[in-house]
Every structure is written in C-alpha cells, then in structure tokens.
Amino acid sequence: MRYGMAIDTLKCVGCGDCVVACQTENNVPFGYCRDWITETIDGTYPKVELEFRSERCNHCENSPCVRCCPTGASHIVEGGIVVVTADKCIGCSACIESCPYDARYTHPLGHVDKCTFCHHVRDYKQTTACSAVCPTSCIYFGDLDNPKSEVSMVLKNRKFKDLAPEAGTKPQIFYLI
Amino acid sequence: MISTRRQFIKISTVGLGGAAVAASSLKLAHGTGLFGSDDDEQINDLKNKRFPTYCEVCFWKCAGWTHTNDKGEIQKILGNEKDPHCYGRLCPRGTGGLGMYQDEDRLKTPLIREEKGGKQVFREATWEEALDLIAKKFKKIKADNGAESIALLKHGTPGKHFEHLFEAFGSETVGEPAYAQCRGPREAGFAATFGSWIGSPEPTDIRDTKCLVLIGSHIGENMHNSQVQEMAQAIDNGASIITVDPRLSTAASKSKFWLPIKPATDIALLLSWMNVLIYDNLLDLDYIKDNTYGFEQLKEHVRNFTPEWAYNITNIKPGMIRKTAREMANAAPAVIIHPGRHVAWYGDDTQRERAMAILNGLLGSWGKRGGFYLKEGFKVPKYPHPKYPHPKWTWRDLAKDYPLAGMGLTQEVIRASIPEESGEHKVKAWLVVGTNIKKSIPHQELVNKAIEALDFLVVVDTMPMDIVGYADVVLPECTYLERYDGIRSATNREPSIALRMPAVPPKYNSKPGWWIAKQIGERMGLGEYFNYEDFSEVIDWQLQQIGSSLEEMQAIGVKNLPRKSGSLYFAEGEKVNLPTNSGKIELYSTELAAKGFDPMPLYTPHAEPEEGFYRLIYGRAPMHTFSRTANNPHLTDLKDKNTLWMNPKVAKLWGFETGEEVYLKNQDGVVTSFPISIRVTERIRWDAVYMIHGFGHTNKKLTRAYGKGACDTEMITNVKVDPIMGGTGMRENFVTFIKDSGKETKA
Ligand code: SF4
C-alpha cells in the first residue's frame, strides 16, 4: 500500500478549489495553506505554453523532513503518508528547511503543519478533500501499489513528470503532461 | 430624504458589539472538522449535521450541503452529487462560500442616513424603524409620482422576493445588470436565429462535443461549474478546442488551436469562417435546405469575406482560418460555437452573436449530441396571491428605443432617474438588492448623477459594498447559508429542483430577503400578497403540489425529474421546428430585417488605441465573482487583488517591471482611484492590457478588499450601446499609465 497522486495538468485550470477545500476540511487557518497552485509560462507571444499545477507535500519515500526531525513528530504512517504529530513537534522548523517543495509551514499554534492526504477520513473514504472537490477531476488519488487503481491506470497510460527529481526524494505525486 | 448632496458615507457607525463573532481561526484550527481532526480519536465522528442549500456566490446556483459540527457551527460546504449544476463538486467560490457567513465586515444592523452637524452619517436603527421609514417613503412617492417611479435594481435569488413586492405595489420598473451589461446580446442574437434564448445554464453539450469553439469566452476562468467540468471531460475525450482571444486564456492554453486575434475584429473572422464553410463545400447541403432559411442570401453576403480579407483585419493567417473551419466541419454536428456569457463588448454584439449562431446553424449543431441539447425546465407552481395591479408604464417603456430588449435595461432605469438625461425624470427611488452597481454598471458619472437626483435609495446587501455608502436606508440581509429562498428550478438536460434552507440562524441583526420584502409589503398595506408566516410554508405548499414536500427536500436537497418534452436531441434526419418566423434556423433574420436592422451580420471597424494607449480588456478569475467576493477571507487567501497584465514589449517601452504600481488613465482623462500592480506576461497582446474585474473597492469597511487593485468599471466611460437590444459595449476604452494620480493615494 502506497498512496500517491497523479494530477492532470492538461485539465487543471488553476482555480484553487483544492486549496479552499483543504482549508475547510482540515481547518487550516486563514492565511496558510497545505496545498497551492503554481503557474508556469514558457515562450513568447503568441507561442506560449501555460501550465497550472496543484502542489502539496509529495509524501516522499525518501523524506528528508522525517530524517531530520529531532523528536519523531514527523513520521511515516500506513500507506507511506508523511504526517506530523502536533503534540510532539517542538517547532524547530528543521523539516521546513529540508523540504525541497516548501510544503510545510509553522501553524500559528506553534507546530509544523502540512498535507496529510486527508488521512483522518481514510477508514471510510478513499479520497482527499482536494481530489473530491476538483471541478475538472484532475486529481487522481489512490494506491500506487495496486495496478488496478485509477491512479495507477492513468500513470500507465499517460506521460508524466515529478517535481525536483534531482533532490532524490522519490516523490509520490506525479503530474500528467 | 436629505436635501443636500448625497455624500458617500463610509459606514462609520457600523458594528453592534452584541452578536458573537465566528470562532477565531485559531480555535477552529484545533480540529472540529466533519471527520474530526487529524487526531485518530476523532475519526468517524459523524455527529454532525448537513443542510441542503444551493450556492449564491454566483448565478450557477450549484446545490450542496452546508455541514455543521456538533456545536452547530458551519464547518464546510460540499456539493450535492445528484445536482446537474455541480455533480457533487462546488467551485472554489462555492467551497469558500462560508467566508460570506464568517466575514466579520458583514452588514450587521439596519442603518439610516442622517445629518449631524452638517455631516451625513449612518445611524444604527431597529428593523421597525428602518422598515417603517421605507414604507412611509415608498407610499409617499407612490402617491405623488405613481408606483412605477420606484425602481428595482437586482441580481440573484433575493431579487425574486423584491420583484414580488414591486409587482404587488404596481411597479415593473426593473433593471438587472445580468442582461444589458452581460449576456443580453447573445440571447437576442441566438433568439433571432433559433427562436429562443440560450438561458442559464447554457444548453451546450460540451461533454460529448468533438470541437468546442470559444470566442473570447474564458471557461475555466469563469468558473461556471458544470460547464468547466464538461470542458475537462471534453479534454479527456480528446475533443479539439479552438479559442479566439487576444490573451492566452486558461482555455486557450488547453486548445488545439489558439487564434490570438486582434481585439474587436471577431466578426471578420466569423464571416470568413462562413465563407470557407460555404465556398469550400464543407457543409451538409441537404440539412441546410431542410432546416435553414436564407442560405442563398447568406452565400451571396459572405462571398467576398475570404480568409485573405479577414487576415488584414484580424491578424489571423488565412491558412489557420481554413484549417480551423475544416476542424469544425469535420466535427459537425458535434461542434459548439459557444455563445459566451459576458458579451457586451463593442455595441455590435447582437450581430457578433448572430454570426456565432449562424455558424452553429450551418454546421447543424442545434439540437444535436455534442452541439446544443434541447433543454428542459420545470415550472414550480406559483404560490397563490391576489392579481398584481397593472402599471401604467414599465421597464419596456424605458427600453423602447431597443426593439429586441428582453429584460429591463439597468442603464435606462438610471437615465430615467436623471432629470436632464431623461427629460421626464420618471424614476424617483431605487431599491438595490444583490448588485453593487458602483462596480457593475459602466459610465459611473451617470450612475453618480442618478444617485444624487434620487429622492430615496434603499440598499439590501450582506456586505458594505460601494453602493451601500450612498443609501438612505441600508438593510442587512443574512447570507444564503442562513435563510430560505425560492426553489431553484433551471433548464438543463433533465429538469431538476433544489432547496435552500438555513443551516444556522441569521448572524448579527441580519434578516432573510423574503422577510424584508414581506415586512415592507405589510407596511404598505399589501399583506394579502404575503400570506405566510415563514417562507418555508410557501416552499412546502409548492412542493406538495408536485408530489414532494419540504420534509423530503430537506433530506435530499435535489430532485431530478423526468423529461416530458421528448428526446434530448433531434433524431437523425428530423427537421427542426423552431419558434422563429420561418420555423427554421434563420441564417437571414426576418425579425431583424423587419425591425430595420441588418438581417445578416457585417463587420464594422471599431476605434483603435491612440499612441501610448492600450485597449482595456477585463475578465474573471476562477476564485471570484464580480465584486462580491473581494472581501471573502477564503477567497482573498487565493487572490486578494487584481494585476495589470502587460506584454513584455510594452513593459520594456515604459521601463516597467512586474510588481510596479501604476494608476490607469483612460481616453477621457479618468484616473483609477487606486494603483494597480503590473504583471509582465507573454499571455497578452501588445495592443491591449488585461485585468480581473471586481477589485479596487472604495468602501473602507471592506477591510480586506479596500484599495486592493484597481476597478475596471471606473475606466469604462465610453459605452457603445447595442441598437438592437440595448447592451452596453464596454471594450472600446483605452488606458495609459501614470505613476502619480495627483490624488491622495491609498491609506
Ligand atoms: S459555480 Fe461556484 S460560485 Fe457559482 S453557484 Fe456553483 S459553486 Fe457557487
């Protein structure tokens, strides 16, 4: 069991619904976010390419944030999900420094916070708030180890890339291109 | 009520301390989510409730569920999976709709304008007092000038309650920016061709289309929910998208063909497409013979409008024009030349829409899978009330110069409110509900003059929008999450109805729109028109008539009903039978000819920017609706101001960089109230600049929105009125950049 996402950049319109749905599902305080939208533009008018990406913690298999956490607050749970136990976190922000994706922030209450793949609903929902809300259905979430899962299927059939491969973190979020 | 000039009041006295404010975000952050926090113990905590609603953040009206936690606080809003407007997925604005409820800048209690020491201020008032005053003033104005002299300017669901009130006291003097400032031209243009309006949601069969053609329409930036969802499905299905836009819109970036057209020349391109389709023999002539009227005239009409001719005008290469025409013909009839939504651009908009409709007619997409489906709606029975009186004159009289005007023209209501403009000064008072006409109506000088000339102005809103500052009486409406409203019933593939009910009681001292209308009505002696204690009685009665009930709808939220009008598409070979004069698709419009207009569209050149000026184009961002969401804390997190898109060539010429702030000055010397920061980007042509509509709020009480970005409406002083239906074309305005406005800059 290894949770991951494939996000279709050909469909994403960069609306930010994933960001708001995450905020309301996970009580992310105003002014903070666990996921966000990146827009990249390439070329010169009128030969211009545009790509939107919904980004978040990559739940890396080789996660520098977990390795550098002095208290074990950052750890990996079932399905390869990287989580932070707020009570154990001392807010040293070493993990924030170590993350090549800038996926973590310090919550106003002092602990570090980030995407959990909506771990809290996993017992009865095989989805995440961002994936469930996306108007273009561009976020495929599921078990990468199961070849029959939707996410595995799209990754099998489509071209994709991951972010910052040079960091060697083995991210679990893939962008369909 | 106050004889001196109507000063803008910055609502300095708002803020009854009384009512509790929403739990602070810090408290919320401790995890009271529907499924508990990330803390394992709270998983499966499903003691929460959900209440059906349909969204009021835009006009798409997606049905959803408002979830409350065990403390009865609103936690989140999710889409209703049965709803054909959203299929269980709200857009960012709908998901963030609870920000409207949480916003601590909300209007909290009724306000009455009064004069204190020579200064006009708002004083907090009780509902009794405010409603009594409105009834007294309305009765007096009615006695002196007739009920017709009281006008209703409205948008959205609450407008319906006030429409009922107005018709009950004898006024059909109404204006809605949704028509003349927005989609009116397409309704007129498509009606002249197919006999009926497009309506909302648009009956475009995008999910099954093979080719979607967007003329400046920026689906994906306008977040019309199910339509965006279907565009994504079309992308999955490998449909080709052709986008015509001087800007690399989001949709353009997903298109097989992006035609970066010179602004204001669309009609030339559309005519040349007709030329190619006809003269390159790309059409099904049997279909055309059986189903259209005026093909020979059209053929003659477009003879000289070759791609070479169009190239000189549009900058689109002839080869590309031919190639895209073929792409459409190959997909036909599963092709959509999309009518768009906000289409009041250049004053010949009905004719541009006609050209788009004609292309659909030629390609046979009307009533075809992957083209336009045959929509069906559901008529909710009317709750009984006495007959409305007959007004002596209505909005139709004010719109008499525009023969195809199909709804009240806001700008004509405004004009009729200004003595020197109308000659008659027929309109004396306004009730404005759900529309911030300081941002939705171009030519603000006229709006200001009208406001000054009014005897009385009532504004009903949830937020201290710009227009609120000009009111004599301000009535705080509660948000859609706190009230009942009329049953939603829209046309779609299958008819459906949806219920909106309160999830929580109204916060502060705010009240539902239906209650406000009823209270005013009763005070005007119209109690028999409001024969219920609570609006839920009306809804229950209506639902009972159709074999449902309030109880049932409270449990399910949305009910999809079977079609009664037959198939979703015309059968193969079935001849169309349309409500046009000829019964056919009118390539040559008999109606326009009879009214003295060009029966077939023509290209006319529009003004171009002078040196140092750039055409101002505006549009939407997916996380905002008009100016109404600019203060919503969830949505300001995503975007809290607009920027000015500028081609790098232009930026270089001026020595500007991204992030630099400038004021805009238009061709008439009008300068924006606030500066806007520049975004240098390859996504826009060099002869135009682009900004998102709805920013640059002037009311300081909008603490997140005040002074953020600039207001495009301020720059729209040159209005090109469509002679056919009265649309207000807004894109013939040009701006230049100044570093110092000469005004006080923002605080
Ligand atoms: S499209 Fe978005 S804002 Fe409009 S009604 Fe639907 S959810 Fe609400």
CB spacing of A48 vs B253 below 8 angstroms: yes
Site to substitute for ligand 1 among B54, B62, B85, most atoms within 8 A of C-beta: B62
Asked if the bond preceding B158 is cis, omega within 30° of 0, the reply is no
- Find the mean pLDDT for residues B10-30: 32
Q: What integer pLDDT is reported at residue B214 of this predicted model?
A: 98
Owner of token pair 């509902």: B127
Residues B584 and B649 in one domain: no
Partner residue opposite B89 with nearest CB, options A14, A124, A133: A133
CB spacing of A45 vs B683 below 8 angstroms: yes
Residues B630 and B585 in one domain: no
Q: Please report whether residue B651 resides in a domain.
A: yes
CB spacing of B232 vs A46 below 8 angstroms: no
- Find the mean pLDDT for residues A16-35: 96
Q: Does the pLDDT of residue B2 top 60, yes or no?
A: no
pLDDT by residue (tens digit) across B455-479? Answer: 999 999 999 999 999 999 999 999 9
What tokens appear for B460 in the block?
């009903």
CATH, domain range A3-176: 3.30.70.20
- Find the mean pLDDT for residues B508-522: 98
What share of chain A in percent tops pLDDT 90? 97
Chain B window 638-667: which residues touch A at a Cβ cutoff of 8 Å?
Answer: 638-639, 647
d(CA B600, CA B590): 10
Higher-confidence residue of B624 and B33: namely: B624
Q: Please report whether residue B675 resides in a domain.
A: yes
* B63-68/B49-54 β-pairing: antiparallel
Q: What integer pLDDT is reported at residue B9 of this predicted model?
A: 59
- Find the mean pLDDT for residues B439-465: 95
Q: Please report whether residue B294 resides in a domain.
A: yes
B124, B16 Cβ separation under 8 angstroms? yes
- Residue B21: band (very low, low, confident or very high) from pLDDT cuts 50, 70, 90: very low
Q: Which of B37-46, B290-299, B307-316 has the lowest mean pLDDT?
A: B37-46
Q: Point out the ligand 1 atom lying closest to the alpha carbon of residue B61.
A: 5
Q: What integer pLDDT is reported at residue A123 of this predicted model?
A: 85
d(CA A82, CA B210): 42
Q: Does the pLDDT of residue B741 top 90, yes or no?
A: no
Residue B359 at interface with chain A, using a CB cutoff of 8 Å: no
d(CA B173, CA A43): 52
Q: Please report whether residue B129 resides in a domain.
A: no
d(CA B27, CA B36): 14
Partner residue opposite A50 with nearest CB, options B42, B253, B685: B253
Question: Based on the number of CB atoms within 10 Å of its own CB, is B646 exposed (0-12), middle (13-18) or buried (19 or more)?
Answer: buried
Residues B234 and B300 in one domain: yes
What tokens appear for B52 in the block?
């059906």
Partner residue opposite B637 with nearest CB, options A30, A45, A136: A30
Q: Please report whether residue B725 resides in a domain.
A: yes
Residue B96 at interface with chain A, using a CB cutoff of 8 Å: yes
Q: Does the pLDDT of residue B3 top 50, yes or no?
A: no
Q: What integer pLDDT is reported at residue B420 of this predicted model?
A: 85
Q: What integer pLDDT is reported at residue B283 of this predicted model?
A: 98
Q: What is the CATH number of the domain that holds B643?
A: 2.40.40.20
Q: Please report whether residue B211 resides in a domain.
A: yes
Nearest CA residue ID for atom 4, ligand 1: B58
pLDDT by residue (tens digit) across B423-440? Answer: 677 999 999 999 999 999
Question: Based on the number of CB atoms within 10 Å of its own CB, is B533 exposed (0-12), middle (13-18) or buried (19 or more)?
Answer: exposed
Q: Give the structural domain span for B345.
A: 185-375+576-594
Q: Does the pLDDT of residue B40 top 70, yes or no?
A: no
Task: State how many domains chain B has.
Answer: 2
Q: Please report whether residue B177 resides in a domain.
A: no
B633, B102 Cβ separation under 8 angstroms? yes
In terms of Cα–Cα distance, which of B258, B370, B285, B280 is closest to B685? B258
Q: Point out the ligand 1 atom lying closest to the alpha carbon of residue B225.
A: 1
For residue B500 and ligand 1, the question of a CB distance below 6 A is answered with no
pLDDT by residue (tens digit) across B342-400? Answer: 999 999 999 999 999 999 999 999 999 999 999 999 999 999 999 999 999 999 999 99
- Find the mean pLDDT for residues B442-454: 94
- Find the mean pLDDT for residues B391-410: 95
Q: What integer pLDDT is reported at residue B6 of this predicted model?
A: 52
- Find the mean pLDDT for residues B42-64: 82
For residue B86 and ligand 1, the question of a CB distance below 6 A is answered with yes
- Find the mean pLDDT for residues B52-63: 97
Owner of token pair 């969401």: B629
CA distances from B1 to B143, B144, B264, B426, B464 (A): 16, 15, 45, 18, 21
B127-145 helix and B513-523 helix, angle to the nearest 10 degrees: 60
Mean per-residue pLDDT over chain A, rounded: 96
Q: Output the pTM of the full model.
A: 0.93
d(CA B432, CA B430): 6
Q: Does the pLDDT of residue B39 top 60, yes or no?
A: no
> Helix, strand, or coil here: B54?
strand
Q: What integer pLDDT is reported at residue B736 of this predicted model?
A: 98
Q: Does the pLDDT of residue B102 top 90, yes or no?
A: yes
- Find the mean pLDDT for residues B312-316: 98
pLDDT by residue (tens digit) across A143-161? Answer: 999 999 999 999 999 999 9
Residues B590 and B704 in one domain: no
- Find the mean pLDDT for residues B721-734: 97
Residues 6+ apart with CB under 8 A from B417: B151, B425, B426, B427, B428, B430, B450, B453, B454
Q: What integer pLDDT is reported at residue B399 of this predicted model?
A: 94
Asked if the bond preceding A46 is cis, omega within 30° of 0, the reply is yes
| Ligand 1 centre distance from Cα of residue B77 (Å) | 11
Q: Point out the ligand 1 atom lying closest to the alpha carbon of residue B79.
A: 7
Q: Does the pLDDT of residue B238 top 70, yes or no?
A: yes
Q: Point out the ligand 1 atom lying closest to the alpha carbon of residue B64.
A: 7
What tokens appear for B373 in the block?
């489906």
Q: Does the pLDDT of residue B14 top 60, yes or no?
A: no
> Helix, strand, or coil here: A37?
strand
Residues B191 and B323 in one domain: yes
Q: Please report whether residue B496 resides in a domain.
A: no
Q: Does the pLDDT of residue B29 top 70, yes or no?
A: no
Residues B654 and B699 in one domain: yes
Count the residues in chain B: 747
pLDDT by residue (tens digit) across A45-88? Answer: 999 999 999 999 999 999 999 999 999 999 999 999 999 999 99
Q: Find the helix or strand (DSSP H, E) in which B590 lies.
A: helix B590-594
Residues B661 and B584 in one domain: no
Q: Does the pLDDT of residue B32 top 70, yes or no?
A: no
CB spacing of B95 vs A121 below 8 angstroms: no
Residues B589 and B618 in one domain: no
Q: What integer pLDDT is reported at residue A122 of this predicted model?
A: 87
Residue B696 falls in which region: left (phi positive, over 0), alpha (psi -120 to 50) or beta: left
d(CA B292, CA B584): 5
Q: What integer pLDDT is reported at residue B421 of this predicted model?
A: 82
Q: Which of B4-18, B189-203, B474-488 has the lowest mean pLDDT?
A: B4-18
pLDDT by residue (tens digit) across B669-691? Answer: 999 999 999 999 999 999 999 99
In terms of Cα–Cα distance, which of B443, B716, B681, B272 is closest to A39? B681
- Ordered by start, the domain boundaries in chain A are 3-176
Mean per-residue pLDDT over chain B, rounded: 92
- Residue B506: band (very low, low, confident or very high) from pLDDT cuts 50, 70, 90: very high
The whole-angstrom distance between residue B407's C-alpha and the CA centroid of its chain comes to 14
Q: What is the CATH number of the domain that holds B214?
A: 3.40.228.10
